Amino acid sequence: MDGLDALADGAVLAGPDGRVTAINAAAGRLLGVDDAVGRPLADVLALRDQDGRDWFSTNRPYDGLPTRTAVPEQSWLLPDGTEVLVVARLHRAALHQPVDCIAVSIRSGRGRARLDRERSDLVATVAHELRSPLTGVKGFVQALLNRWDKLNDDQKKLMLRTVSADSDRLSRLIAELLDVARIDTGRLQLYPRPVDAEVLVRRVVDSVSAATSRTVVAHAAAGLPEVTVDPDKFVQVVTNLVENAVRHGSGTVTVTLDPVGPAEARTGLRLAVEDEGDGIAPDLRRRVFTKFWKSGHTGGSGLGLYLVNGLVEAHGGTVAIGEADAGGARITVTLPVDSLPAG
Q: What is the CATH number of the domain that holds 239?
A: 3.30.565.10
Could you tell me which of 175, 155, 177, 164 has the C-alpha nearest to residue 133?
Answer: 164
DSSP secondary structure code for residue 19 in this structure:
B
Q: Looking at the domain assignment, is residue 288 inside a domain?
A: yes
**pLDDT band at residue 276 using 50, 70 and 90 as cut-offs:** confident
Q: Specify the DSSP class assigned to residue 188.
A: -
Domain boundary among 185, 204, 221: 185
In this structure, the answer to whether residues 143 and 233 fall within a common structural domain is no
Is 117 part of a structural domain of the chain? yes
Residue 198 falls within a domain, yes or no? yes
Looking at the chain, how many residues does it have?
343
The contacts found for 26-34 with CB under 8 angstroms, 24 or more apart, are: 26/106, 27/104, 27/106, 30/78, 30/84, 30/106, 30/108, 31/78, 31/106, 32/78, 32/79
CA-to-CA dists, residue 112 to 71, 75, 116, 125, 328, angstroms = 19, 10, 6, 20, 38
Both 201 and 73 in a single domain? no
For 73, 127, 185, 313, the CA distances from 114, given in Å and listed in that order, are 17, 20, 17, 25
Q: 205: domain range? A: 193-336
User: Do 147 and 94 fall into the same domain?
Assistant: no
Same domain membership, residue 47 and residue 150: no
Q: Are residues 205 and 174 in the same domain?
A: no
Last residue of a domain, one of 47, 82, 108: 108
β 20-23/227-229 pair status: unpaired
280 and 170 in one domain?
no
Alpha helices in the chain (DSSP H): 25-31, 41-44, 55-59, 110-147, 153-185, 197-210, 231-248, 304-314
| Digit-coded pLDDT (tens) for 143-162 | 999 999 999 999 999 999 88
Q: Average pLDDT for residues 105-115, to the nearest whole number?
A: 75
CATH of the domain at 29: 3.30.450.20
235 domain-assigned: yes
* Residue 107, beta-bridge partner list: 85
**pLDDT over 70 at 198, yes or no:** yes
Q: In terms of Cα–Cα distance, which of 259, 220, 243, 255 is closest to 307? A: 243
Check whether 1 has a pLDDT greater than 50.
no
Does any domain span residue 343? no
3-state secondary structure string, 32-64? CCCCCCCCEHHHHCCCECCCCCEHHHHHCCCCC
Does residue 111 register a pLDDT over 70?
no
Backbone angles phi, psi at 188, to 5 degrees: -70, 130
- Both 197 and 319 in one domain: the answer is yes
Q: How many domains does the chain have?
A: 3
- Whether 342 is in a domain gets the answer no
Q: Would you place residue 343 in the very low, low, confident or very high pLDDT band (cuts 50, 70, 90)? A: very low
Amino acid letter for position 54: D
Q: What average pLDDT does this structure show over 293-313? A: 75
304 in any annotated domain: yes
Cα(279)–Cα(227) distance, rounded to whole angstroms? Answer: 29
Considering the domain architecture, whether residues 197 and 308 belong to the same structural domain is answered as yes
- Regarding whether 328 and 197 lie in a shared domain, the answer is yes
Tens digit of each residue's pLDDT (9 = 90 or more) over 280-292: 877 777 778 777 6
Same domain membership, residue 327 and residue 199: yes
pTM of whole model > 0.95?
Answer: no
What's the distance, Cα to Cα, between the start and end of the chain in Å? 54
Same domain? 173 vs 207: no
Domain end point (choices 108, 130, 164): 108
Q: Are residues 154 and 50 in the same domain?
A: no
CB 227 within 8 A of CB 335: yes
Note the pLDDT tens digit of each residue in 214-231.
999 999 998 899 999 999
